[in-house]
Chains A and B, each alone.
Chain A
Amino acid sequence: MKGKVEDKLVQLAFGDLSPSEAKRLEQVAERDPEAHRALVVYKEMRDGLRLLADVPEDQFSKERLRDAILKEGLKPAPYRPTSNRAWLWMPVAACAIGFGFVFVRRTMVTVKSEPQVVMSSKSLRPTPLVEIKEPIRVAVNTAPTAASFVGPAQPKLREVSDLGSRHGNRHRLEPNEVDPAIFARIPDGGEFEDALGTAVLEDDTPTPTTAPHNDTVTAASGPMVMIDPDKDASTGAQRAREVGSSSNVLVSG
Chain B
Amino acid sequence: MVESRIMGYDASLSGRMELDSDGALVRKARDGDYAAFEKLFDRHRVLVYRFAYQMTSRRDDAEDIVQEAFVRAYQNLHRYRDEAKFTTWLLRIVTNLCTDQVRMSQRRLALEQQEAAGALDWMTTGDIEDPIQNLEADRRRIALRKALNALPPHHKAVIVLRDIEEREYPDMAAILGCTVGGAKLRVLRARRALKERIAPLLGEERS
Contacts and interface: CB of A to CB of B under 8 A. Distances in A.
A48 B139 CA distance: 10
Given A48-B140, A58-B49, A76-B77, A53 B164 contact: yes
A41 B195 contact: yes
A51 interface: yes
A19 interface: no
Contacts of A58: 45-46, 49, 53, 59, 62-63, 66
A64 to B, nearest CB: 6
Contact of B78 (A16, A41, A51, A79): A79
A55 B122 CA distance: 9
Interface string B48-68: 011001100001001100111
B76 interface: yes
Contacts of B103: none
A10 B163 contact: no
Contacts of A62: 38, 41-42
A7 B166 CA distance: 19
B70 A65 contact: yes
Contact of A76 (B30, B46, B145): B30
A5 to B, nearest CB: 12
A46 B38 CA distance: 36
Interface string A1-41: 00000110011001010000000000000000000001001
23 contacts: A7-B188, A14-B191, A16-B184, A41-B202, A45-B198, A53-B166, A55-B54, A55-B62, A58-B45, A58-B62, A58-B66, A59-B63, A60-B66, A62-B38, A65-B70, A66-B38, A68-B70, A69-B71, A72-B75, A74-B34, A75-B32, A77-B75, A79-B79
A69 B77 CA distance: 13
A53 B148 CA distance: 13
A52 B145 contact: yes
Interface residues of A, number: 37
B45 A50 contact: no
A50 to B, nearest CB: 7
A65 B75 contact: no
A192 interface: no
Interface string A53-87: 11110111010111011001111110100000000
A92 interface: no
B63 to A, nearest CB: 5
B122 A76 contact: no
* 7 closest cross-chain pairs (CB), A and B: A48-B144, A49-B163, A77-B75, A55-B53, A58-B49, A60-B63, A10-B191
A14 B140 contact: no
Contacts of A242: none
B16 interface: no
Contacts of B123: 54
Contacts of B54: 52, 55
Given A59-B63, A76-B75, A48 B141 contact: yes
Contact of B144 (A45, A54, A55, A68): A45
A210 B201 CA distance: 78
A149 interface: no
B164 A49 contact: yes
Contacts of A64: 67
A44 interface: yes
B53 A10 contact: no
